[in-house]
Amino acid sequence: MPILRVALDVPLATLFDYRADDASRADVGCRVTVPFGRQQTVIGVILEVAETTRIAAGRLKPVLRVLREEPALTDADLQLLRFAADYYHHPLGAAVMAALPARLRQPGGKRSRASGAVQAQSRGITAATPPRVHGAPPLTGEQARAVEEIRSALGAFRPMLLLGVTSSGKSEVYLHAVADALAAGRQALLLVPEIALTPQLEALVRDRFPGTAAVSLHSGLNAGERHAHWRAAQGGHARIVLGTRLAVFTPLPELGLIIVDEEHDASYKQAEGFRYSARDLAVVRARLCNVPVVLGSATPALESYSNAAGGRYRLLTLESRIGAPPPRIACLDTRAARPVDGLSEPLLAAIAECLKRGEQSLIFINRRGYAPVLRCPACGWVSACHRCSAQLVLHLKDRRLRCHHCGHQEAVPAGCPGCGNPQLAPLGQGTQRVEAALSERFPRARIARIDRDSIRRRQAWPEMRRRIHERDVDLLVGTQLLAKGHDFPHLNLVGVVNADSLLYSSDFRAGERLYALLTQVAGRAGRGGTLGSVLIQTEFPHHPLYQALQRQDYRAFADSLLAERRQAGFPPFIHQALLRAEAPRLATALDFLAEAARRARRLAAPQITLYDAVPAAMPRRAGRERAQLLVQSESRARLQEFLGAWMSELVAARATRARWSLDVDPLEF
């Protein structure tokens, strides 16, 4: 009698055995409905078919139904999921089920009607028919060389890093590479870090390949849309798939090319639950499927740059802007010209000049709200979140104090809760305060604020982009939502407010992140053929980071950072894992980690370094106390061997009131 080993969405590192008289090995990858727990029916995925089981015959439950009417996950799909679950030490069943659309995880889920529309779009398109590439501008020499390198790699695994300055035409290289993959009868997967970038790239792809079925996959889709698009990709009807990090697991039976745009972006790392890196798994998937993978960025992650410098990745470069010179970057010393409401007089004067010329300006501040904190000058009270180790941010328009970490909000008090003083003062600047200051200084200017508060409505961001392109906006105030990949041809001035805040960070990646962020936002200036200008307000104009930024030489900056990392023993020269714990009391979390450390020391080889348990950088979040324990090794293989044994012991250990998880290759501490 066949025994099915089924992956279920449970936090246990095991498969569950069921009997099925009519099953065979051909059913591996199929979904099934099975009984689980007390009179509960759940969906699972068959991962193995065996002849024997350790479960007593009387306790072995039957499968209720094998769902063969839906296509199964292939061996290649399951191989990637097994690797991800093993490497990140996440329960295999939970990893497999997380990769499926919500409708396929629910018993009785209906087939999406929308899938027919996507399939109809692709009818008549044969895999061997070269796609038409309408309106493609001529390639520069650098672009042509990059395209030829990618074309020559089709049909083989070759990881490539496309290092291209902003506005150098990386997207055009992507589109030509996709065209070559389609002409070879293959599918292409394009990953982007943010939902906000997906519609823009999707429109570009649809315009360039009007006869080719393309779908998007991201969290902004409803359940029916996501199911339909996923099915179109799995069935081979969709030839181009654009998506955010979860799309790396999308079944693609004829995959021929993977592209990861803005590959340095931290959004590719899942921050909760299944803590995988989509960028790193894209490389793994390319190796498993024997296809090329292109990682593109103006400021690659140091891990990727190190791989390229060491020869593991092929380095492709685009060093020249297309149609415009690189922007001029200058620092405004705020010690000499103190800002008012975050804006210095030299910056305001530059904005005024842009307005006179009819050009658009962007004021970049990576903090939404009106002010980061509300303070009483009489007694020193500050608006702290009672659930987090953070301050409540003032949102003046609706007179609310909001925590940007846990979502708690409350009304602005009429007076100080400590002493009753009615004169509470906002400290610092956010997008709302900068917007208000600009409105007062330039009352006739058309100002648009772009942050997560202003684009919550589904069509708000596309509508805002249209207004910007049609020059219905003079001044933009925005966060990092505006820094990535957007092309606004009439925007010639970028002013950066509060850049210094990241310099105070204890995170060893802070400099790398700040350089990347400022490079990205600086790249928005002067994309329409005129010389752009970038003004950075800072108290440290001679800081090496700002000096490197003004030279616009990423490779020199990256080389210096790599030298520092090597000397300090930081990634990419060391491999890390972080055991996180949280509980109602900090002592509970630290006690769990202390016990975990004792177990680790019994297992650890000399090549493993184990640090003491400490509170997290933000010790309290959403009412729970958090702590962490860092483990590292110069050998990735040794670290993985140790983590496997350690996790087995922790899973088998006695129960604890602490919730815990392992983060392999952590980006946040």
> How far apart are the C-alpha atoms of 350 and 612, rounded to whole Å?
51
Mean pLDDT of the chain: 91
Mean pLDDT within 421-439: 93
Q: Which residue has the higher pLDDT, 506 or 297?
A: 297
Q: Domain for residue 10, yes or no?
A: yes
Mean pLDDT within 199-208: 87
- DSSP calls for 306-357: HHHHTTSSEEEEE-S-SSSPPPEEEEEETTTS--BTTB-HHHHHHHHHHHHH
Listed in sequence order, the residues at least 6 apart from 323 whose beta carbon sits closer than 8 Å to its beta carbon are: 167, 527, 528, 529
Question: Are 283 and 360 part of one and the same domain?
Answer: no
Amino acid at 479: T
User: Would you state the pLDDT for residue 533?
Assistant: 95
Q: Domain for residue 398, yes or no?
A: no
pLDDT in tens, 217-250: 998 899 999 999 999 999 999 999 999 999 999 9
Q: Which of 113-122, 150-159, 316-325, 643-652 has the highest mean pLDDT?
A: 150-159
> How far apart are the C-alpha atoms of 236 and 7, rounded to whole Å?
25
Is-contact 205 235, C-beta < 8 A? no
Q: Domain for residue 377, yes or no?
A: no
Could you tell me the two tokens for 149? 């390198």
Mean pLDDT within 628-635: 96
pLDDT beyond 80 at 397: yes
Question: Are 593 and 545 part of one and the same domain?
Answer: no
Mean pLDDT within 569-575: 96
Question: What CATH number should be reported for the domain holding residue 451?
Answer: 3.40.50.300
Question: Are 287 and 345 part of one and the same domain?
Answer: no
Q: Domain for residue 129, yes or no?
A: yes
Question: What CATH number should be reported for the domain holding residue 36?
Answer: 3.40.1440.60
Question: Are 210 and 275 part of one and the same domain?
Answer: yes
* Distances, alpha carbon 153 to alpha carbons 147, 148, 159, 217, 552, in Å: 10, 9, 9, 26, 30
pLDDT band at 21 (very low <50, low <70, confident <90, very high): confident
> How far apart are the C-alpha atoms of 46 and 28, rounded to whole Å?
5
User: Would you state the pLDDT for residue 119?
Assistant: 47
Could you tell me the two tokens for 9? 């969405």
In 3D space, the residue among 196, 192, 135, 242 whose CA is nearest the CA of residue 465 turns out to be 196
Is-contact 140 148, C-beta < 8 A? no
Helix 554-568, helix 510-522: angle, nearest 10: 170
Mean pLDDT within 574-594: 97
User: Would you state the pLDDT for residue 264?
Assistant: 96
User: Would you state the pLDDT for residue 484?
Assistant: 73
pLDDT beyond 60 at 285: yes
Q: Give percent above pLDDT 90 in the chain.
A: 77
Q: Which residue has the higher pLDDT, 465 or 1?
A: 465
Question: Are 308 and 341 part of one and the same domain?
Answer: no
Question: Are 151 and 265 part of one and the same domain?
Answer: yes
Q: Which residue has the higher pLDDT, 201 or 425?
A: 425
pLDDT in tens, 166-179: 989 999 999 999 99
In 3D space, the residue among 170, 177, 257, 163 whose CA is nearest the CA of residue 209 turns out to be 177
Q: Is the pTM value of this prediction over 0.85?
A: yes
pLDDT beyond 70 at 629: yes
pLDDT beyond 60 at 510: yes
User: Would you state the pLDDT for residue 38?
Assistant: 79
User: Would you state the pLDDT for residue 270?
Assistant: 95
- The radius of gyration of the chain's CA atoms, rounded to the nearest angstrom, is 27
Could you tell me the two tokens for 420? 């009753």
In 3D space, the residue among 473, 471, 440, 470 whose CA is nearest the CA of residue 454 turns out to be 473
Question: Are 151 and 188 part of one and the same domain?
Answer: yes
Question: Are 517 and 604 part of one and the same domain?
Answer: no
Q: Which residue has the higher pLDDT, 636 or 13?
A: 636
User: Would you state the pLDDT for residue 374?
Assistant: 94
Question: Are 333 and 354 part of one and the same domain?
Answer: yes
User: Would you state the pLDDT for residue 111?
Assistant: 53
In 3D space, the residue among 74, 297, 295, 23 whose CA is nearest the CA of residue 166 turns out to be 297
> How far apart are the C-alpha atoms of 655 and 206, rounded to whole Å?
53
User: Would you state the pLDDT for residue 120?
Assistant: 44
**Positive or negative: CA dihedral 152, 158, 164, 170:** positive
Q: Domain for residue 245, yes or no?
A: yes
> How far apart are the C-alpha atoms of 159 and 308, rounded to whole Å?
9
Q: Which residue has the higher pLDDT, 528 or 376?
A: 376
- How, if at all, do strands 314-318 and 255-261 pair? unpaired
pLDDT beyond 50 at 121: no
Q: Domain for residue 397, yes or no?
A: no
Question: Considering its fold, how many domains does the chain have in total?
Answer: 4
Domain termination residue (choose one: 279, 299, 318): 318
On the CB side of 480, how many CA atoms lie within 13 Å of its CA? 17
Domain termination residue (choose one: 509, 540, 564): 564
Question: What CATH number should be reported for the domain holding residue 628?
Answer: 3.30.70.600
Question: Are 365 and 475 part of one and the same domain?
Answer: yes
Q: Domain for residue 158, yes or no?
A: yes
Instruction: Give the residue numbers spanning the domain of 246.
Output: 114-318
pLDDT band at 115 (very low <50, low <70, confident <90, very high): very low
* Distances, alpha carbon 487 to alpha carbons 357, 364, 466, in Å: 20, 16, 12
> How far apart are the C-alpha atoms of 152 and 616, rounded to whole Å?
47
pLDDT beyond 80 at 307: yes
3-state secondary structure of 166: coil
pLDDT band at 124 (very low <50, low <70, confident <90, very high): very low
* Sheet containing strand 214-217, strands side by side: 214-217, 240-243, 187-191, 255-261, 292-297, 158-164, 314-318
Question: Which region among 127-131, 289-293, 370-374, 467-471 has the lowest average model confidence (pLDDT)?
Answer: 127-131
What torsion do the CA atoms of 125, 128, 129, 130 make, to the nearest 10 degrees?
130
Question: Are 597 and 483 part of one and the same domain?
Answer: no
Q: Domain for residue 407, yes or no?
A: no
Q: 552: alpha, beta or left, given left = phi > 0 and alpha = psi -120 to 50?
A: left
User: Would you state the pLDDT for residue 117?
Assistant: 46
Question: Are 137 and 251 part of one and the same domain?
Answer: yes
> How far apart are the C-alpha atoms of 481 and 310, rounded to whole Å?
33
User: Would you state the pLDDT for residue 277?
Assistant: 98
What residue ranges in 51-124 does DSSP mark as E strands? 65-67
Question: Which region among 355-359, 456-460, 520-524, 533-537 has the lowest average model confidence (pLDDT)?
Answer: 456-460
User: Would you state the pLDDT for residue 7?
Assistant: 96
Domain termination residue (choose one: 105, 125, 140): 105
Mean pLDDT within 350-362: 95
